[in-house]
Amino acid sequence: MRVSCTVNGERLVADDVWAGESLLYVLRERLGLPGSKNACEQGECGSCTVVMDGVTVCACLVAAGQAQDRDIQTVEGLAATGAIEGAGLHGPGQGAGLHPVQQAFVEAGAVQCGFCTPGLIVQAASLLRAVPEPSDAEIREALAGNLCRCTGYEKILDAVRLAAARQAGQARRPGRDAGQGPR
Amino acid sequence: MTSPPVSPPAAPPREVLPRGAPAGGVIGVSARRPDGVAKATGEFAYSSDLWMDGMLWGVTLRSPYPYARVRSVDIGPALATPGVHAVLTHQDVPGANRYGLEFADQPVLAEDMVRYQGEPVAVVAADHPEIARRAAARIAVGYDVLAPVTSARAAMADGAPRLHPGGNVVRHLKLRTGDPAARADLVLTAEYQVGMQDQAFLGPESGLAVPAEDGGVDLFVATQWLHADQRQICQALALPPERVRLTLAGVGGAFGGREDLSMHVHACLLARHTGRPVKMVYSREESFFGHVHRHPAALRYEHGVSADGRLVFVRAEVLFDGGAYASSTAAVVGNGGTMGFGPYVVPNAAMDCYGVYTNNPPCGAMRGFGAVQTGFACESQMDRCAAALGLDPVEFRVRNAMSEGSLVPTGQIIDSPAPVAELLRTVRDMPLPPDPGNAPDLRELPGGVSNTTHGEGVRRGVGYAAGYKNVGFSEGFDDYATARVRLEIAGGEPLVTVHTAAAEVGQGLVTVETQIARTELGCERVIVHPKDTGVGSGGSSSASRQTYVTGGAIKAACSRVRERVLALAAHRLGRIGAGLRLDGGMVVSAAGDPLISLAEVLSSEGIEETVQWRHRPTFPVDPETGQGFAHVQYAFAAHRAVVDVDTELGLVKVVALDCAQDVGKAINPQAVEGQIHGGSAQGLGLALMEEVQVTEGRIRNPSFTDYLIPTILDMPPMRLAVLEYPDPHAPYGLRGVGEPPTISSTPAIVAAIRAATGRPLTRIPVRPQDITGT
């Protein structure tokens, strides 16, 4: 079958999709977007978290056909939705134009093997859109569906706190339209 | 249901390797990971992300039985399936159909016997993974099912089936020191059990094998040790190493579970047979069958103490269930046996430590490697001794703690700092978390928002533990690493390229590699070359050894490069080289005055040095007494755990888990903290929830629905104290970091639950019924 949907703002089409495939498989193997990860493919680990019509879902639990005409945002498209002006890391390839959550993960040491990182970043960015200054308890609850095996989560908490603080600082800065940073 | 497609995906080929990028920072600072940005944006290419034009998908058919004779294999219907390109069995293995880390005892594909549930029998390559899976299901295998051997004790019993030609005992380590008839004022004896833990790395076993024009193969794979893989693949394929080239793909965690081969040979066989690239990716369920686990253990300890609180003797018997194949069982026995008394001075010691074959899932390396199981039993015994003597558990440990100059039970003298007492006092003196109060937040209670208690029946407990771990490979193993370092001028500026085969598995080795090169050569721009077999072995990314050994090799290679650069500079400057240094891309005087830039000194070719570096040698232990200089370095940690226990339901909330560890020198402080956090979390998992449940040789919970690992709600905030007492024998004085926190975390948590409940808790993971007694 043919599946077409909007992914990171772009209308994409996948042909010859077998009905048993998941959205995750279509993203990774047919649309060239492997950023969403395949750690459990049974909805337990959150490593494939994407935003579908504004709601975070495990892409492994969405049948390919269910994605028809939906709006999907993956980790690959996240930076375009909220990069902070002038806040890139220093040096070439060091993340000018990253989303503040991505940047905070790198700076706080929240990335080790990184396999959980895309899902956690998509989930954390979604949390901060809804709750700009979450308490630790709110962060823990929001990220409870995302497994990480390397970090013990301490530096993930640090990263989300850092991103929240930066975004709050940014939002309070006069004369700036939050969330409209350079691409 | 429609058939799967046969057309390849429309995706463009992706960069196979992570990009190197400068991140800045010398040793001792929290330099950023060179791969951090790529991992945060989703661009980093893990082994399961690889893709090539025309590639096929490989899948594995596995035995459903833990022990059976294979009577027949009919691949006809599978091979006739449209879209299938190959179905291979053991008859298609051109070389030796045996591999293994320490003993080549495991078939690449089963011949006449299967010895564990999940043993690979055949492999299939097809256009789509679902076609391959369906075809594999059409392979008809005739089995004569046999009664499996399902415990270490049963495997050692008279009359047990011999699972391998040499018998069922993989190794028996015997240690005897001091007076075998020593008598003590008080003797405490108990038996302990440790369940089977899974590494549960998130990135599944996967890789891409690409047939080469020279008849060889290129394999892109997630692993811990490229050269050990290469050696085993070469034997199975009957090819020389120059025709089996491995490149490290992005690794989604390892923790020991990638030390053995998984899909490596299978993908290479399929690729060479079909002439097409073949990708294999295990599902999570298959992953539980596709790698070794932590050995379950049955341990019996007898501790003798004097009335004044000194350990007089320890006598122990430890049984490790190695499962169907040896993997690294012999080395696990070596660690468990030689370090099975904890970080304490034990004047009279006896240990019989066994690793045996059974028909359970094969067990091998996992973080802590033999010291985790014995650590739990020893620390539990230390608490029982302290209680029997009426002593505080920290005070009793401190009285018996190892220190620099101590004699360990192998007869080895500890010749570098061993601040066990200070580590224990440090965690004891950290502030305790506040009491939950009268109206606690549900999220802070055992059971959480399940609303199982509002505080009634909840009791708090505090527990302590210390642990230690050997760093590097032991018992005479030729443990070395290779580093190639190149300094050149690129774009008018100095550029250093570090090339090692040492696997980055998430721990941050690539960051440390750049920091060492920056420190030694005074250049900001450092690139880490992709990890491959184009350079000599880096040894395994295990045993907490890479910063020490590969770090040592890079330091040595940089040192040779620096000598050559300074000699060239001295020649150009017309002065002697003594006192010259490299800093900021310049040759500077001893006082730091810039003399000449590297761009002026270096010719267009640059300078390159390759060094094979070894730590000081270790030696095998005596087979009768276990005595010898077995370990090159020890690393120590201590934990304090605070728990709230719902004593009616047996639910536990860990409220605080604080750790002190001596790391010698923190090369990257942020990464050190990350290792301690993560290692402690895996210890928490073993204490409370993680167990591969095996019944009659069958895994009952091969999924993340049923095998639980700690979530962010399970992990408490952690206070850390990182001590830096340099080891004079190690590069920069550093000590391995990764494993010690996994050892002491578990027993500290269990001790805290005992303190809250008064239950003996001799088995981990602790289950609700162990707490409630129901």
CATH number at residue A51: 3.10.20.30
Q: Which of B2, B47, B202, B708 to mutate to test the interface with A (most CBs of A within 10 A)?
A: B202
Taking CB atoms and an 8 Å cutoff, what residues of chain B touch A92?
21-22
Test B9 with A39 for CB contact under 8 angstroms.
no
For the record, the structure tokens of B590 come out as 């001893």
Q: How far is the CA of B498 from the CAs of B221, B472, B529, B671, in angstroms?
A: 20, 22, 6, 20
CA B533 to chain centre: 21
- Cα-flanking dihedrals φ and ψ of residue B511, to 5°? -65, -45
Q: How many Cα neighbours within 13 Å face the side chain of B616?
A: 11
Per the domain annotation, does A101 fall within a domain? yes
Residues of B in contact with A118 (CB under 8 A): 40, 42
Asked if pLDDT for residue B762 goes beyond 80, the answer is yes
Query: Which residue in the block uniquely carries the two structure tokens 């360990």?
Result: B408
Residue B475 tokens, joined = 């018992």
Q: Are residues A125 and A167 in the same domain?
A: yes
- Parent domain of A46: 3-77
Q: Out of A17, A139, A155, whose CB is closest to B674?
A: A155
Q: What is the pLDDT, as a whole number, of residue B763?
A: 98
Q: Tens of pLDDT along B33-72?
A: 999 999 999 999 999 999 999 999 999 999 999 999 999 9
At how many degrees (to 10) do helices B669-688 and B740-757 cross?
40
How close A48 gets to chain B, by Cα (Å)?
11
Structure tokens at B137: 């299901």
Q: Is residue A22 part of a domain?
A: yes
Phi, psi of B587 (to 5 degrees): -90, 125
Task: Give the pLDDT score at B405.
Answer: 98
Which positions in chain B touch A16 (Cβ < 8 Å)? 5-7
Do A90 and A31 reside in the same domain of the chain? no
CA A99 to chain B, closest CA, distance in angstroms equals 9
Residues B678 and A112: their CA atoms lie apart, in Å, by: 10
- List CB contacts (< 8 A) between A90 and chain B: 24
CA dist A100 to A93, A154, B712, B734, Å? 16, 18, 21, 34
Does domain B293-474+621-772 bear CATH number 3.30.530.20? no
Which are the contacts of B155, defined by CB distance < 8 A and separation ≥ 6?
B149, B163, B168, B321, B356, B357, B358
Closest CA to B131 of B77, B86, B63, B81: B81
Nearest chain A residue to B3 by CA distance is: A18
Tokens 């996948």 -> residue: A14
Peptide bond into B765 cis (omega under 30): yes
Has residue B194 got a pLDDT over 50? yes
Domain check: are A23 and A59 in the same one?
yes
pLDDT per residue over B534-573, tens digit each? 999 999 999 999 999 999 999 999 999 999 999 999 999 9
Q: What is the largest CA-CA distance in chain A?
A: 51
Contact (CB<8Å) B2/A18: yes
Phi, psi of B512 (to 5 degrees): -60, -40
Q: How far apart are CA B194 and CA B370, in angstroms?
A: 11
Counting the structural domains of chain A, the total is: 2
Residue A4, CA distances (Å) to A12, A26, A61, A74, B668 in order: 6, 10, 18, 15, 46
* Among B300, B318, B313, CA closest to B355: B318
Distance CA A75, CA A102 (A): 9
If you search the block for the tokens 């027949």, which residue do you land on?
B72
Q: What is the pLDDT of residue B262?
A: 98
Task: Average the pLDDT over B583-591 and give the result.
Answer: 94
Asked if the model's pLDDT at residue A179 lies above 90, the reply is no
Mean pLDDT score, A19-35? 97
Cβ proximity of B410 and B422 under 8 Å: no
Residue B623 is encoded by which pair of tokens?
A: 């087979």
**Using an 8 Å Cβ cutoff, are A61 and A147 in contact?**
no
Q: What is the mean pLDDT of chain A?
A: 89
Mean pLDDT across chain B: 95
Tell me the pLDDT tens digit for each residue of B654-677.
999 999 999 999 999 999 999 999
Query: Could you tell me if B712 and A157 are in contact, meaning their C-beta atoms sit under 8 angstroms apart?
Result: yes
Inspect the interface and report whether the beta carbons of A140 and B33 lie closer than 8 Å.
Answer: no
Please report the DSSP string for chain A in residue order. Answer: --EEEEETTEEEEE-S--TT-BHHHIIIIISS-TTS--S-SSSSS-TTEEEETTEEEEGGGSBGGGGTT-EEE-GGGTGGGTPPTT-PPSSTTS-TT--HHHHHHHHHT--SS-SSHHHHHHHHHHHHHH-SS--HHHHHHHTTT---SSSTTHHHHHHHHHHHHHHHHHHHSTT--TT----
Contact B1 A20 (CB under 8 A): yes
User: Other C-beta atoms within 10 Å of A11: how many?
Assistant: 9
Contact state of B253 with A113 under an 8 Å Cβ cutoff: yes
Q: Find out if CATH 3.90.1170.50 is the number for domain B46-146+208-251+258-290.
A: yes
Other Cβ atoms less than 10 A from the Cβ of B115: the count is 28
B439 pLDDT band (50/70/90 cuts)? low
> Which residue among A77, A106, A135 closes a domain?
A77
Residue where the block lists tokens 């016997």:
B113
Q: Where are the domains of chain B?
A: 46-146+208-251+258-290, 293-474+621-772, 480-614
Residue B12 has pLDDT above 80, yes or no: no
User: Do A23 and A69 belong to one domain?
Assistant: yes
Same domain, A160 and A86: yes
Q: Which residues contact B151 (CB under 8 A, 6 or more apart)?
A: B321, B358, B360
A182 part of a folded domain: no
Instruction: Decide if B614 contacts B622 (C-beta within 8 A).
Output: no
Output the domain CATH number for residue A162: 1.10.150.120
pLDDT tens for A36-79 read: 999 999 999 999 999 999 999 999 999 999 999 999 999 999 99
Sheet with B458-471, edge to edge strand ranges: B458-471, B633-646, B651-662, B720-723
Q: Which range, of A164-178, B374-388, B501-515, averages the lowest pLDDT?
A: A164-178
CB contact under 8 A, A30 and B681: no
CB < 8 Å to A141, chain B: 443, 449, 713
Q: Is residue B8 predicted with pLDDT exceeding 50?
A: no
B23 residue type, one letter: A
Query: What pLDDT shows up at residue B387?
Result: 98
Give alpha helix (H) positions in B602-732: 669-688
**Boundary of a domain, candidates A60, A77, A94:** A77
Q: A95 and A19: one domain?
A: no
Please name the amino acid found at residue B156: M
Same fold, B293-474+621-772 and B480-614: yes
Interval B372-391 mean pLDDT: 98
* CA atoms of B213 and B275, how far apart (whole Å): 9
Task: Evaluate whether residue A183 is within a structural domain.
Answer: no
Q: What is the pLDDT of residues B123-174, one digit of tens each?
A: 999 999 999 999 999 999 999 999 999 999 999 999 999 999 999 999 999 9
Residue B360: other Cβ atoms inside 10 A:
30
The contacts of residue B315 (CB under 8 Å, 6+ apart) are B301, B302, B349, B350, B351
Least reliable range by pLDDT among B347-356, B358-367, B432-441: B432-441
DSSP B8: P
Tell me the percentage of chain B whose pLDDT exceeds 90: 94
End-to-end CA distance of chain B: 49
Interchain contact, B506 vs A113, CB within 8 Å = yes
Contact B42 A157 (CB under 8 A): no
Asked if A30 lies within 8 A of B718 by C-beta distance, the reply is no
What SS3 class is residue B43? coil
Is residue B589 within 8 Å of B580, Cβ to Cβ?
A: yes
Interface test with B, best of A113, A135, A143 (most B CBs within 10 A): A113
Q: Nearest to residue B516, comparing CAs of B484, B558, B545?
A: B558
Confirm whether A159 is domain-assigned.
yes
CB B718 within 8 A of CB A149: no
CATH of domain B480-614: 3.30.365.10
For B475-501, what is the mean pLDDT?
A: 97
Quote the pLDDT of residue A174: 55
Which of A77, A111, A136 is the C-terminal boundary of a domain?
Answer: A77
CB contact under 8 A, B7 and A95: no
Residue B15 has pLDDT above 50, yes or no: no
Closest Cα of chain B to A26: distance in Å? 9
Order of strands, edge to edge, in the sheet holding B140-145?
A: B113-114, B68-74, B140-145
Residue appearing with tokens 């239950």: B759
B11: pLDDT strictly greater than 70: no
Residues of A in Cβ contact (< 8 Å) with B23: 91, 94
Residues A168 and A85 in one domain: yes
Look up residue B162 and give its two tokens.
Answer: 């011999």
Burial A20-49 (b: 16+ CB within 10 A, else e): ebbbbbbbbbbbbbbbbbbbbbebbbbbbb
My answer on whether A71 and A106 are in the same domain is no
Q: What is the pLDDT of residues B605-615, one digit of tens each?
A: 899 999 999 99
Does A72 lie in the same domain as A93? no
Helical H segments across B390-496, by residue range: 393-400, 420-428
Tell whether A24 and A61 lie within a shared domain. yes
Determine how many CB atoms are found less than 10 A away from the CB of residue B430.
Answer: 15
Q: Of B33, B35, B39, which to mutate for an interface test with A (greatest number of A Cβ within 10 Å)? A: B39
Report the pLDDT value the prediction gives residue B16, as an integer from 0 to 100. 32
Per mean pLDDT, which range of A5-9, B9-13, B567-571 is the poorest? B9-13
Q: What share of chain B has pLDDT > 70, as a percent?
A: 97
Question: Å from A35 to nearest chain B CA?
Answer: 4
Average pLDDT over residues A84-108: 70
